[in-house]
Amino acid sequence: MSVQVAFLMRLRPGFAEEYRRRHDAIWPELVDLLRAAGVSGYSIFHDPETDALFAVLRRRDAAAVEALKDAPMMRRWWAMMADIMETHPDGEPVTRPLVPMFRLG
């Protein structure tokens, strides 16, 4: 059974189009890595007023998704994205989990 999780990230001002461009060209190997970790859906939305990025991820196994942090390919992706979004010193994007409040269906 898959679980839906949501979280916030923050884009640096003025980089929305670059963020979209980079994700439009996401590496097929990274997509394969995410799917192998049990990710069956991943959507990211941008709020242009605040540059908040709202992400929704569908996953089967929380531990497998957590282990992605150690994957060299994920680290390379984070390094490529670090200039346009808020990150921790190790390059991981700063995320803030969101609490589910309502769901229809």
Boundaries of every domain in the chain: 3-97
Q: For Cα atoms 69, 74, 75, give the angle at the middle one, nearest 5 degrees.
A: 80
* Per-residue exposure over 52-73, b if at least 16 CB sit within 10 Å of its own CB, e if not: ebebebebeeeeebeebeeeee
Catalytic residue among 20, 23, 35, 69: 23
User: Taking the CB of residue 81, how many other CB atoms lie within 10 A of it?
Assistant: 19
CA–CA dist 44, 42 (Å, integer): 7
Q: Kind of pairing, strands 3-10 and 52-59?
A: antiparallel
Q: What is the pLDDT of residues 2-44, one digit of tens each?
A: 999 999 999 999 999 999 999 999 999 999 999 999 999 999 9
Catalytic residue check, 23: yes
Judge: domain 3-97, CATH 3.30.70.100.
Answer: yes
Task: Give the pLDDT confidence of 37-47 residue by residue, as tens digits.
Answer: 999 999 999 99
